[in-house]
Amino acid sequence: MKLLLPLLLLAAINLITFCAYGIDKWKAQTGRWRIPEATLLWMAAIGGSLGAWIGMKAFHHKTQKNKFRYGVPALLILHALLISYVYNNYW
Q: What is the pLDDT of residues 39-87, one digit of tens each?
A: 999 999 999 999 999 999 999 999 999 999 999 999 999 999 999 998 8
CB 52 within 8 A of CB 44: yes
Domain boundary assignment for the chain: 4-90
For residue 1, the 8-state DSSP code is -
Q: What is the pLDDT of residues 1-42, one digit of tens each?
A: 677 888 999 999 999 999 999 999 999 999 999 999 999 999
What backbone torsions phi and psi does residue 67 show, to the nearest 5 degrees?
Answer: -65, -25
Distances from the Cα of 39 to the Cα of 5, 9, 59, 63, angstroms: 24, 19, 17, 16
Q: What is the dihedral of CA 31, 33, 37, 43, to 10 degrees?
A: -120
